[in-house]
Structure 1
């Protein structure tokens, strides 16, 4: 696949995905990426919970997302949960069976809460599998009063139409670029 075809494929997928996820409130900034590449997952939080400020955000690392590493965020504490991976993977000849399964950002103080009137971004990085397909990032948004569990995925396909609290969708598109870049 040529680079220009790959770029056009990413753009086409992004346009379709953006249209289908317009109602989702925790979304990925880049909703399509090439298989076999590193990906910077930027989770956008558009509001609190019915007016209540966000105090924590927990993302469940999707099966196949390899070597997840969160970006520290000023005013927020990081917690990383590790465990057995649903999909082990090979890393330079070593079979990786355990890794990061959840990342949680928690506001260090009331001053760091994400007020309902604002939006913010929470970032992590990892490698994508070599095969194309849908990857869903399930996010628990915890607020001063209540929470929203953005974890619904469709029974089939990638349309989140009809889902009240859809997970954030990343469409992994085919690529001949299955490299190793850090």
Structure 2
């Protein structure tokens, strides 16, 4: 009887883990979930599925304020578009260079990425010096039929777990030397 209770308990725990894992994989995510402020980071955006069974044909990522440089990963079968925006005033860059324009949005178009497969899309970015801040990266996923907008940003004090289509987020942590 004890063995049966242990088996049932472990089965329930495994099922709960699978459900929470599936919920986490239900939307576009970014890794790492946290990164040192005022540093370069390799961000990896994971697209786990298409749009209601339809293959993904484009992924557009809007970069948050404070990112001074971004370099997207080249992917075979995909074209990369980089949209820039002019800063209101020049800022000092990491190597003493004056920066007047920054990457505003990166879009990959091509594929297609079938619904039953996943892929990752990478960006190397310079993160701002704002430890404790969350950086949200709104993502629009275009498919052969349909679109998914992973653009919801929680309001102050609200957790992203209550959002239907949360934007991927990176938490800036204190830089350690």
TM range (shorter): 0.7 to 0.9
Larger Rg: 2
Q: CA 1:174–1:158 in 2, change beyond 3 Å: closer, same or farther?
A: farther
Moved more, 158-167 or 71-80: 158-167
1:89 CA displacement: 3.5
Whole-angstrom CA distance in 2 between matches of 1:55 and 1:93: 39
Residue by residue over 1:94-127, the C-alpha shift from the partner in whole angstroms, topping out at 9 and shown as x without a partner, is 43231211110000xxxx3110101100011111
Moved more, 91-100 or 112-121: 91-100
Matches within 5 A, 1:5-24: 22=24
Runs of 4+ in 1 over 4 A off after TM superposition: none
State yes or no: 1:68 paired with 2:67. no
TM-score of the two chains, using structure 2 as the length reference: 0.80
Between the two proteins, the alignment pairs up a number of residues equal to 155
Matches within 5 A, 1:162-177: 162-177=162-177
Q: Give structure 1 stretches of 5+ with no counterpart.
A: 1-17, 178-182
Partner SS for 1:161: helix
State yes or no: 1:28 paired with 2:30. yes
Contact 2:25 2:48 in 1 (8 A): no
Match of 2:107 among 98, 104, 107: 104
TM-score of the two chains, using structure 1 as the length reference: 0.78
> What is the CA RMSD across the aligned residues, in angstroms?
2.2
Contact 1:24 1:166 in 2 (8 A): no
Partner SS for 1:66: coil
Q: CA 1:145–1:72 in 2, change beyond 3 Å: closer, same or farther?
A: same
Q: CA 1:31–1:89 in 2, change beyond 3 Å: closer, same or farther?
A: farther
Whole-angstrom CA distance in 2 between matches of 1:120 and 1:42: 10
Q: Give structure 2 stretches of 5+ with no counterpart.
A: 1-19
Counterpart of 2:139 in structure 1 is 139
Contact 2:46 2:118 in 1 (8 A): yes
Contact 1:63 1:86 in 2 (8 A): no
Q: CA 1:33–1:88 in 2, change beyond 3 Å: closer, same or farther?
A: farther
State yes or no: 1:118 paired with 2:117. yes
Contact 2:59 2:108 in 1 (8 A): yes
